[in-house]
Structure formats: structure tokens, C-alpha cells
Chains A and B, each alone.
Chain A
Amino acid sequence: MDYVPHTPGEQKEMLKVIGVGDLEDLFADIPAKYRLGGLLNLPPPLSEQEIWEHMGRLAARNRLPGATLTGAGAYHHYIPAVVSHVVGRSEFYTAYTPYQAEISQGILQAIYEYQTMITRLTGTQVANASMYDGATAMAEAAVLSAKSLGRSRLLVGRSVHPEYRKVVGTYAWANGYACEEIPFGATGRLEQAALRELLDDKTAAVLVQSPNFFGVIEDIGPLADLAHSRGALLVAGFTDPTSLGILKAPGDSGADFVVGEGQSFGNPMNYGGPYLGILASTEAFMRKIPGRLVGATVDREGRRGYVLTLQTREQHIRREKATSNICSNEALCMLAAAVYLACLGKNLKRLAALNVWKANYLKEALSALPGWRPLFTGPVYNEFAMSCPDAGAANRRLEKAGFTGGYDLSKDYPELGGGILFCATEMLRREDMDKAVSLLK
């Protein structure tokens, strides 16, 4: 099947208006030898019913886990029915970027409200209308820091998500910046003394994450003070943004940029995407931050309305001098986040607390197993790292029982001598945790 409405008769009429004999004539500018003689080598077209069946079979080749014990940058949370209802309205999902404000007030106001919610949660003054994901949000904040300070060195916490570190590394390589790692200590937090040593006058930004990749909550204030003492900026990431329901806002601790993955706010795990890059900053960067910003204004009759604003930062005006090349973002994921936060409201605090309680319950239960102990002593949110006799074997047991197990730390952190990262959100029932623990006995 296809989605072209033309009848052969209509095609002929149109060709006549154009003044050509047949469709092929419209492609006369393409040198004949480059025009495909036959058809592409693709599987035969399917009817709608066949697509439904085929895609169903593909999806069924996947195995849905009985419970998910993995976090590590993507989190299994409950999504209120209202979220998918709103995001499923085609006035939103079939629209383009709101260039024509008069017929896009819906999404523009929703973005303005989202910007407000994010600044409140993160303790900042400006939030953009989204980046691709948490990793690119962090990388772009790093590049922007370097560009605005004219410095070329980045210090990245080793407790930052390994994939985020890699993405920052790729962007840094492309720009010719140096990237070095700040070590962590026995608490699982970054070593302040080591950071003090590493900092110099070329350092543009210190990149940290709290909760960090091990689930440990960093104390951002002293890290920000250290960075600022050498004129560098602090980029504070987070793992799961639901933690902001209880944790002190990073902006209030001195972070210049707050970045991270917003998937937890109303977006399914979707095997890794689409996700939502959150990027917020102090007012000082309002005219520099990447991506779109919505501002309130008035119309000709004095009514309140919203427009894309401060666009001179953007690629379509400043071209190679733009602060970023981002154009399409993750607006629909952002809408989901806004609706999610509206649904949760102040209950986000209770949800966050539930995550802490569940994670601590599982952590304690696992700690009682022979050969198992927490790797770090710092306080955790909904994830925690354990040392155990054999992480691979542990995961195989969990998988056999249909669970998605923990994140094996050995590939990214050989210095930990094995280790596994577990996550417990509100979706993990006590009986599943008990079952997991008994499987690991």
C-alpha cells in the first residue's frame, strides 16, 4: 500500500497543466545514467493488516521482563494515562516546530510552562525546550562552557555515566578540547582534593552527576565552589530526574548548568529513545544556551501569547557562529514531561521517597547475602552499586527467571574488581525484590 491519493486521471491532468508528457520528464535534470532503471531491492509492500501482523511478530521476538532491576540512565516508572492521552493528540504529534506562533499557541504555551517547571525543579533561571538526550545535553553544555570562556580543558567526573563521558569525549575530540577524569573515593563521591589538583586556568568546566552513575548523591556545593575558584563553570548532571522531587536543586548549590536525561518524566523506556535532554542554566547564559526558548509577549490587541525568542543564537540566523547546531529537538517528549509533572505535582516528593525506600530495601537485602556488600558508603537515590562474587553469573540467574538484571560495572570500571549496579523504582514490587534476592542466594 502507499499513501498517495492521486488517481491516474488526476496525474494526467496535472502533467498537462505542467506541460510535460509523463512523470519521467519531471526528472530530466537527473542525468539519465543515474536514474534507477528498475525498482529498489526492498521487501514487497504489505497491506495494513500484514504490517500489523509482521510488526507484532517482531515485537514478540522480544521478551518482556518480569521485572526490571536496571537503571543506569533509563528508568522504569509508571506513566499516568493522562500523559499518553495528551501526547497522542495529533494536533501535537503531527505539527512541526512552532514557527507560526498564531497557530501554535498550544505547544508554545506548553513549552513555556515546561521551562518554568524545569527552572523550579533545578533552581535555575532558564531552561530550553529540550536537547536530544542527557548525554548530548551534557556535551553541549561542555562545549558552550569552553567556547564562552575561551578555555579548552574539561574535567569529567569518573562517576558520570560512562556513555555520557564517551559522548562528551567525542564532542571534545571534534572541537580539539582535552578531557580528563576526576576520580571517586570510597564514598562513591568525587574526590575534592583530586579536583583541586586537576583544576587550572585552562579548565572550562567541571562535569559531575548527582545522583551519579553509582546512584550516590554528590554534594554539589563544594564542587561548584572549587570550579568557580579557578574561573571554571560547573555542569551538574543527574541520573533520574524524579530525584529532584526530594533533592536540593543543583542551581541552588551553585551549578551553572543543570543537564540530564528527562525520560523518567512520562516517557517509556523505548529501548533507549526517543528521550529528553534537559538543559537549564543561570540567566547569564540566556543568550547563549543551545536550542529553542519560548518567551511570553503580547499580540496586537494586548493579549498574552508566546513566541520562539532570542533566535539570534540559533543556526538558522547565526549559521557557523551559532552556539549549537541543534534544530529538531525532542518537543513531544518534553510535552510528556510537562504533563507528567502536572499530574504528579507535589506528589513527586512522595514518588521520589518511594524510590529511595525501595532501593534501600533491596540494597539491605542483597547486603545480607554471602559475598555481597555495597561498593560505596555514600547515600543513594534509587540505584546502588554492589560488589558480589560473580556479576555475570548473578545476571544469568536473574535473566533465566525473566528479570532484566543489574548493570555489570566491570566493562567500564575495571578498577572496581567486578561489581553490579541495581535500580529499584516504584515499579518494583517487594515480592519481586524478594524473589530476586532469593535467586541470588
Chain B
Amino acid sequence: MELIFEKSRPGRAAGTVPASDVPETALERLIGPELLRDTLNLPELAEVDIVRHYTRLSRRNFGVDVGFYPLGSCTMKYNPKINERVAGLDGFTALHPYAPEAFVQGNLQLLYELAGYLSEICGMADFTLQPAAGAHGELTGVMIIKKHFERKGQRRSTILIPDTAHGTNPASVALCGFQVATVRSDAEGGVDVGHLRELMTKDVAGLMLTNPNTLGLFERNIEEVAHIVHRKGGLLYCDGANANALVGVTRPGDLGFDIIQLNLHKTFSTPHGCGGPGSGPVGVKRHLVPFLPVPRVVKRGRRYRWSEDFPHSIGRVRSFYGNFNVMVKAYAYIRSIGAAGMRRVSENAVLNANYIKERLRGHYQLAYDRTCMHECVFTGEKQLRESGVHTTDIAKRLLDYGYHPPTIYFPLIVREAIMIEPTETESKETLDEFCEAMISIAREARENPDLVRSAPLTTPVRRLDDVLAARKPDVCWTVCQGE
């Protein structure tokens, strides 16, 4: 498809700018010619060109509203439309972040209550809503760990992370100046408790654990794991990106976690927007509350206000207060479904994942044969061994069947991994149809492997050359348009 720059025609224009109601002094006089630019190379199009361009682009994009999106660890559930509508209210969108507190009591109430709901859901003492995404929440959480030991006058240099963890975990830890030590998984896909005990010394600040982990499995030994970490004075961090399996059923705080980040764009159904915005609130137990980022909303009587008066805070991790408009959607979602709805989320997310696991188990090999939580992980090793079909090929063939493929090649400890997360908003029919497609692909892999390897056949473009893109990077369009 043509680039917007290729559609540009000199002299065409869409957005017009109002006439000035104040004197128009020459910019050279007001600013100085040496600071001004002489060319402005932006595309020139009429409004209809722009609308058609982006509408066509949108038709080359697959979202949850288009079809089933079982992308493991990403929790691509349906995003209720009422949330979009309320988040679009002028009363929420039109306020400046420095608007006087008297003007924003509704916003402050919403933030205060949302932090309270998340605390209740997770069994934590309080939450900060400032982090802008899950990984940003992780970073904030690790900073809180750092601060905790700094206050105690202890130097601890290492944080433990299981080998199943998402890549953001080690990256977040490294960004806080800690070393990463990797804890092995045991034969059942959980933390190898023996290895953890070996690694957990007084030099270790804590363990960062995803629970349920990225194999979709609950850490059965969580009690012992927490005990091992706490006995050596360490803190237990929960990557809560997978909370969709737990909400309303169990609380990470009760399980022994000291800190958790939630991904509102996953569990709390705020759409992911092709990669963001997200929101990654961080909850902590009472002893860590003083370290939360500033500012924080406080309530006096019926009035809410911002306070920076927390001398032990790690400081700020973002400008203003975080992704406020995302929080409006999460708040509306929690108020819609309530406590019983929360429980139904987990129950049905787990039901759906186990259903897929059972329906596909004769056709694909399971990575770990246990009851799973919100996602199940298969390996395409059988297909690779028997017909030379890779997991990538299976994923690409799914495109021809009209599905977004599952997450593939993650977690790293599973070769040829296929990680399926259906979420609770998908019906039995959808799951059955998807399973039929997966079963057909398994058959095709046996009977006609070339067909699978040449997929996709029906998409606007076919397999793209990643190697070329990396070897000769072309990351912006440089053809000169003239002025």
C-alpha cells in the first residue's frame, strides 16, 4: 500500500488553522531567524485522503473485535464498549493535570477508590497508579526493593528470577543496578525449591516471581518459596501480569508476596491499542507503603488532594499521575463486574484454558501435563520431528483460518512453544472452532507439510523478510519530496 508521503501533493491541505485574533508579528522579530527552521517536510493531503488512508490501514489490522486473539500472557479479552464511552466523557478528557484540586475532585475520588479496589483484590495495603505499563511497574517495584534495603543500611546486589520469566523482569532488575541470578524450574514447571534455597543468600534482595507463571502453572510450593525468601530477609515480588487467573479466587498478598504490579491493559480489560497505552499499578504491603512514588492522593474528610509529603518515597517514575484515562476504564470495569464478576473472570478463564488443553492434547504435545491456569503451553516438537513443520509455520497457517496465533517461542525453556490464552470472554463455540482449526493444521502438517510451511496464503502480504529488515535497516522513508 502507498505510503502517506507518496499520496502527498504540494498545496493540498486538510486541517486549517483559525485566523489570528491577535497581532501577527514576524517570527524573525519575536524569536530570531537563527532559531527558526526553513523547511517543514510533512505530507500534504485532503481530509478524505487521510480518512481513506487510515481506514485502509485499519482493515489490514487484526484486533479483538475482529476475531479470536489467544495470545498467551497477553490476556486479550473483549474490551467492553461502555468503558470507551465513559472514558471519553469531557469531564475526564478535558482537564489539565495541573488543574486546581477543587476542579478535579471526581478524578481524585476515582483514583483513590481504584487504588482501594486493587488493594482489596490483591491483598495489599496500598497501590500507586503512576507506572505507565507492566514493565514500568516492575521497575517501580524493584526500586522499592532497593529503597527498602537502603533504609535498612543493607547492601544486597542480586535479585532472583526463574528461567520461565518474561524478559522484562531481568531487564527491570538490571535497570536498577542489581545482578540477575536465574532460578531453575523443576520437572513440574515450578520453581526448583532446592535451587532457590541454594541461591537465596543474604546478598539477595528478593525473588521476582510470576504466579501463575508463564507456563500457565500455579506455583504449588508458594508457601515454602515465600518462607525461604523471607527467612533470609528478602522480599517477594509478584509479576501480576497473569492475575487474570487469580482475581476473586486468591490474593497474592495472602500468598506471601510483598509487592505486585498489575497490568490493567490485561486483567482489567483496558484495550492495548496496538502496543499501548497500558497501566501498571504497583501494590505493596504495609511496611513498604512509605516508599511508593509521589505524589499520592490523600483524603481529608470528603476532600481529596495530592500529597508529596512522603520523605522516604523513591520519588517520581513518570510525569503527572500515570495513564489516567486508562484507569477510568479499569475503574468502570471493576464497578461493572463487582466481586462476583471478578471470581467469574478467573473461573472461566481457567475453564477455557483447560478446555483447550484437553481438546488439543491428542494433537499437540503438552509442555507440562498438569491442570493449567489461564493459559496452556504446548510444544510443536512433535510436528517438527515428524514433518519438519515449525511452530512459526503453524502460527502462520492459523492466519489463513482467520485467527490471531498464540504466543510462540515463549517461555524460552519450552522448545517450539505454543502458548494459548483464551480468556473468559470467549464462548465455547469459539474455542471449539479454534480447536478444529488447530487440529486441521496438525493434520495438514502430517499430510501436506509444504502447505503449512508456505502459509499464510490469504493475508494482504505473505511472510515478510525479517533478516533483510535487520540487515539493511530502513526505519524511515527518505525519498526527498521537495518543498
A48-B82, A61-B109, A100-B405 known; A327+B249 contact, CB < 8 A: no
Q: Complex: how many Å from CA A169 to CA B223? A: 37
Q: Complex: how many Å from CA A113 to CA B357? A: 41
Q: With an 8 A cutoff between CB atoms, is B289 at the interface?
A: no
B16 partner residues in chain A, CB cutoff 8 A: 347
Q: Complex: how many Å from CA A430 to CA B22? A: 7
Q: With an 8 A cutoff between CB atoms, is A145 at the interface?
A: no
B278 partner residues in chain A, CB cutoff 8 A: 328
Q: Complex: how many Å from CA A356 to CA B30? A: 8
Q: Complex: how many Å from CA A310 to CA B466? A: 9
Q: With an 8 A cutoff between CB atoms, is A10 at the interface?
A: yes
Q: With an 8 A cutoff between CB atoms, is B298 at the interface?
A: no
B355 partner residues in chain A, CB cutoff 8 A: 14, 17-18
| Inter-subunit contact A170/B92 (CB<8 Å) | no
Q: Complex: how many Å from CA A133 to CA B428? A: 40
Q: Complex: how many Å from CA A97 to CA B80? A: 20
| Inter-subunit contact A98/B274 (CB<8 Å) | yes
Q: B94: which of A54, A130, A268 is its contact (CB, 8 Å)?
A: A268
Q: With an 8 A cutoff between CB atoms, is A68 at the interface?
A: yes
Q: With an 8 A cutoff between CB atoms, is B301 at the interface?
A: no
B397 to chain A, nearest CB (A): 11
**CB closest residue in chain A, given B45:** A342
Q: With an 8 A cutoff between CB atoms, is A309 at the interface?
A: yes
Interface residues of A in 82-98 (CB under 8 A from B): 82, 85-86, 88-98
Q: B86: which of A1, A52, A99, A269 is its contact (CB, 8 Å)?
A: A52
Taken residue by residue from 464 to 479, chain B's Cβ proximity to chain A (1 for < 8 Å, 0 otherwise) reads as: 1110111001111110
Query: What would 14 more interface pairs be, CB under 8 Å, given A316-B168, A342-B43?
Result: A14-B352, A40-B121, A80-B14, A82-B50, A135-B318, A169-B315, A246-B37, A270-B95, A297-B465, A312-B470, A329-B276, A344-B15, A353-B27, A354-B17
B468 to chain A, nearest CB (A): 5
B459 to chain A, nearest CB (A): 4
Interface residues of B in 437-483 (CB under 8 A from A): 456, 459-466, 468-470, 473-478
Q: With an 8 A cutoff between CB atoms, is B290 at the interface?
A: no
3 nearest CB pairs, A to B: A59-B91, A272-B320, A332-B273
| Inter-subunit contact B465/A2 (CB<8 Å) | no
Stretch of B58-66, B199-207, B230-238, B382-390 with 4 or more beta carbons under 8 angstroms from chain A: B58-66
Q: With an 8 A cutoff between CB atoms, is A207 at the interface?
A: no
| Inter-subunit contact B14/A11 (CB<8 Å) | no
Q: With an 8 A cutoff between CB atoms, is A350 at the interface?
A: yes
A353 partner residues in chain B, CB cutoff 8 A: 24, 27
Q: B60: which of A70, A105, A135, A274 is its contact (CB, 8 Å)?
A: A105
| Inter-subunit contact A112/B323 (CB<8 Å) | no
Q: Complex: how many Å from CA A132 to CA B464? A: 29
Q: With an 8 A cutoff between CB atoms, is B105 at the interface?
A: yes
A315-B167, A315-B170, A347-B17 known; A164+B319 contact, CB < 8 A: yes
Taken residue by residue from 16 to 56, chain B's Cβ proximity to chain A (1 for < 8 Å, 0 otherwise) reads as: 11101111110100111011110011111101001101111
Interface size on A, residues (CB 8 A): 197
Interface residues of B in 146-186 (CB under 8 A from A): 146, 166-168, 170-177, 180
Taken residue by residue from 185 to 217, chain A's Cβ proximity to chain B (1 for < 8 Å, 0 otherwise) reads as: 000000000000000000000000000000001
| Inter-subunit contact B343/A39 (CB<8 Å) | yes
| Inter-subunit contact A15/B61 (CB<8 Å) | no
B455 to chain A, nearest CB (A): 9
Among B37, B45, B138, B324, chain A packs the most CB atoms within 10 A around the CB of B37
| Inter-subunit contact A404/B273 (CB<8 Å) | no
Q: A273: which of B51, B96, B323, B359 is its contact (CB, 8 Å)?
A: B323
Q: B62: which of A65, A91, A349 is its contact (CB, 8 Å)?
A: A91
Interface residues of A in 308-364 (CB under 8 A from B): 309-310, 312, 314-322, 324-333, 335, 339, 341-351, 353-354, 356-358, 360-361
| Inter-subunit contact B464/A297 (CB<8 Å) | yes
A44 partner residues in chain B, CB cutoff 8 A: 338
| Inter-subunit contact A58/B110 (CB<8 Å) | yes
A262 partner residues in chain B, CB cutoff 8 A: none
B195 to chain A, nearest CB (A): 18
| Inter-subunit contact A82/B51 (CB<8 Å) | yes
| Inter-subunit contact A327/B64 (CB<8 Å) | no
A96-B274, A341-B42 known; A274+B339 contact, CB < 8 A: no
B377 to chain A, nearest CB (A): 15
Q: With an 8 A cutoff between CB atoms, is A225 at the interface?
A: no
A61-B105, A174-B177 known; A219+B42 contact, CB < 8 A: no
| Inter-subunit contact A116/B143 (CB<8 Å) | no
| Inter-subunit contact B117/A42 (CB<8 Å) | yes
Q: Complex: how many Å from CA A102 to CA B409? A: 18
| Inter-subunit contact A96/B74 (CB<8 Å) | yes
Q: A295: which of B41, B138, B339, B470 is its contact (CB, 8 Å)?
A: B470
B167 partner residues in chain A, CB cutoff 8 A: 314-319, 322, 327
Q: With an 8 A cutoff between CB atoms, is B135 at the interface?
A: yes
Q: Complex: how many Å from CA A309 to CA B274? A: 16
A73 partner residues in chain B, CB cutoff 8 A: 97, 319-320
**CB closest residue in chain A, given B82:** A48
Among A5, A294, A327, chain B packs the most CB atoms within 10 A around the CB of A327
